Structure 1
C-alpha cells in the first residue's frame, strides 16, 4: 500500500459522498432516529431500553455502514470507475484502504452522534466510561464498512448487494445475544455464535454497561472485532476484480 495513493482515494470518495445527501442522511441520521424510536417504544420500561440500548448503539451503525458501503462500492464498480482506477498504478490495497479510510472517517462522526444522543439525550445509563462505549460503536461501524466492501465484490447489482444483508447481518443479529443470552441457546447455535464478530461487539457493549473499569473480556472483545475487520478488508482486497463483469 502507498500512503499517498490511499489518502487520495479516500479524499475522492469523501468528495463524492458530499454530493449524495441521501447517503449522508442514511449514515448520520438513521442510527440516531432508530435509537430515538427505540427509547420511546420502551417509554414505560426504561430498564429495557437501558439493557438493550447499548448493544443497539453498536448494531445500528454496523448495519447502516454495511448497506451504504456495499452499495456505494458496487456503484463505482458497475459504472466502470473502479476498472479505470485499477488500470492506473493503483494497488488493490490502496483502493480498499482508501474506501475504508473514507467511510471510517464518516463512521467516527456517526458513532459520536449516536453515542452522544444515547447518553445525554435519551438517558442511557452505563457504568463504564462513555469513551469506551464510543470506541465499541466506532469499531462496530468500521466492521460494517469492512463487511460492505467485502460483499460488494460478489454482487452485480445494487439489489444483489442489499440481498447480502439477510445472509451476512441477520444471522449475526439473531445469535449475538441481543434477544437471548447465548448460553441459553441450543448448543450448536451457541457454538456458531462464537464465530460471529457481532457477538463480541455486543459482549463489549455489555462490559461497558455493567463494569466501571476496563475488563479483560472487554480487551478480548475489542481485539476480536478489530481482527475481524482487518481480516475482512484483506479478503476484500484479495477478491477485488480488476475487470467489471
Structure 2
C-alpha cells in the first residue's frame, strides 16, 4: 500500500470479512436449537408414543364403547354420541398431552442445566422459546394428523364442515398446550410441580368450556370466566365446523381468538423465562 507525503492511499481499501449479523446468528441458533430438541424428543420413545398414540387409542376405545349403544331419538341433524365425544376428544387431548409433555421437558432441561447453558449464548429468550415451540408444534401436528386420520377414515367420524378445519383446530389446540406448558414451566422447580399445574390450568378449562354443562346454562360469573379461557373458543370452533358445511363467522372468530391466546402464552413464557436455575 503506497504512502505519499504521509498520507495513506485509499484507492484499494482493505477487505474485511463481513459478519453475518445478529439476525443471521439468531436464525442459525434457532434452527440448531430446534433440531436438537427434535433429536432429543425422537430419542425419548415413551414421549413419542404418548404424543402420537395415546389420543388415537383413547378415541378408538370410545368408538368401541359407543358402537353397540343404540342412538335413541335425537333431533334431526344432531350428531351421534360417538361423533360428539370424538369431537370433544380431538379438541381436548392435544391440549392436555402437549401441555404435559412441554412443561415436563422444559423443567427437565432446566434441572439438567441445559437451559442455563443455552441462555449464556447470544441466543435470545424469544428465539429459544420459538425453537421449543416449533419443535413441539411439529410433534403436535403429527399427533393431530394421526388422530384425525384414525377418526375420519377408520372410525367413521363425520362433520358437516371440511375435515381440514378439524385438523387445523386440533393443531392450534396442541400448540396452545405447548404455549401454556412453556409458560407454566417457568414457575415450577421440579417435574412434579410442573405436573401439578395441570389441575390449576387445564381442569378449569375442561369444566367450563361446555363439555359438561353448556356455557349458556352456566351462572353469569362462571360464564364470564369461561369467556376468558381459550378452550371455550376451541371447542366452540369445532362445534361450528361439525354443524355447518361452510366455515362460519363464529368459527373464524374463535380460531383467531385461540391463536391470540397462543401468541400471548408464548410472549409471557419468554418474559418469565429465568436465566438462572433456582
Match of 1:38 in 2: 62
Output the TM-score relative to the length of structure 1: 0.97
Specify which structure has the bigger relative contact order, considering alpha-carbon pairs within 8 angstroms and separated by 6 or more residues. 1
1:129-208 matches, within 5 Å, as 129-208=162-241
**Unaligned segments of structure 2, at least 5 residues:** 1-22, 72-79
1:46-125 matches, within 5 Å, as 47-125=80-158
After the TM superposition, list the runs of 4 or more consecutive aligned residues in structure 1 that deviate by more than 3 angstroms.
none
Match of 1:10 in 2: 34
**Unaligned segments of structure 1, at least 5 residues:** none
Aligned residues: 245
Structure whose alpha-carbon radius of gyration is higher: 2
**Higher helix content, 1 or 2:** 1
Is it true that 1:29 corresponds to 2:57 in the alignment?
Answer: no
CA contact (8 A) 1:9 1:94 kept: no
Output the TM-score relative to the length of structure 2: 0.86
CA distance in 1, matches of 2:222, 2:81: 25
Report the aligned-residue RMSD. Answer: 1.1
**What are the Cα deviations for residues 183-209 of structure 1, in whole angstroms up to 9, with x where unaligned?**
011111111100000000000100110
Match of 2:20 in 1: none
